[in-house]
Structure 1
Amino acid sequence: MTADEAQDDPLPLQADSGQSWRPPGSVPATDGRVRKVREHFLDFYTEQYPRVVRFVMIARRATRHTAEDAAQEAFIEAWRTTKQPGAWNRVTNPEAWIRTIALRRHDRPGGTRRRELPTVPGIEDLATDIQCPHPDPADLATGTMRVLEALHTIHDDTARAVMAFTLDGYPDNVIAVHLGIKPQKVRNLRKKARTQLSRHLQTSHTQGGGAAR
């Protein structure tokens, strides 16, 4: 395995933070099991896709289209993983794992690019049932866009990623594993980011008050 392949290998990413989506247990690949895996994966995709898009937008100051590209490729990687016997069982926190893979796809040289689905057994049929869910525009306007504006003032990519994981409710030990840093580093970066956010919000409030007068 080359260094690049090792970097893209998603399977070592493991962290435990409670309940996570999992495909049905390790049983022979019968038609019934294939259908169940497919149904569970579609549920996972529908629930997590908008959240992963928002996560990449926050963590990398990405445009929505770029974040969607990264998210789509991450879910293709996830589907590929479910097709490998026993592979998905090694991913102990799929929700955090899918976010990390999306960041990798975004960060690779040249950036992520929209492309046709790669040849993965079963992906063609699965794609026909996938309806790319999108966040409600009102939610983006009142919530995400305000958060994005504030987080864009943080220039440290890792600090923004820490904040993105934190906003999605992940504990320090999970964030540390998926970013490859120590839990104390997570806390230090979050403290630094919150200080910057506080300053930005205070400045915005002051400027807004001045404009109103």
Structure 2
Amino acid sequence: MDPEEQLSQVYAASAARLVAQMYAMTGDYAEAQDVVQEAFVRALARPGRFREVVNPEAWLRTVALNVARSRHRRGALLHGLIRSGRLVPAPPDAPGLSPDHVALVAALQRLPRSARETVVLHHLADLPVTEVATLLGCSVEAVKTRLVRARRALAEHLGEDDARPAPSGPATIRSEREARHA
């Protein structure tokens, strides 16, 4: 049997059960999902070893438990650093997520990965186009093209009447025109 097919069958049969078990151990449903996902990723990374396992669910449970323990230790270390004063925690009065922010994140998730990365790096991380191009391993023109297309798609996803972004000056108009013809 193909290792990926075997893993798919094991996932269908045992993922929910493993998440429930890890939830009982960690007390955090999202953490339980993460550690089980990590266990399956590790199985995918070593298909030969996983194929040799006699009881795949037990192996995955052990891996998930070890991942949960490692994360707990790192969390305890972080809390210890915070308590010692060597690391300052984030302010507790940080603002919650606004409905606009939630809508933006949902719209970003509908974009292709490359467009989403480009938009986040340029508009949210406030990196210049040249730096975004370097980070993503593409040309400046490709970044500009992705930005124009992503802005239009985001406007459509967010239900704005005009899907074209309002230009902020001659440079913006020129870069959008160049991106359209690239």
Superposition TM-score, scaled by structure 2 size? 0.40
Larger Rg: 2
Say which structure, 1 or 2, has more relative contact order (CA 8 Å, 6+ apart). 1
Structure with the largest fraction of helix? 2
Superposition TM-score, scaled by structure 1 size? 0.35
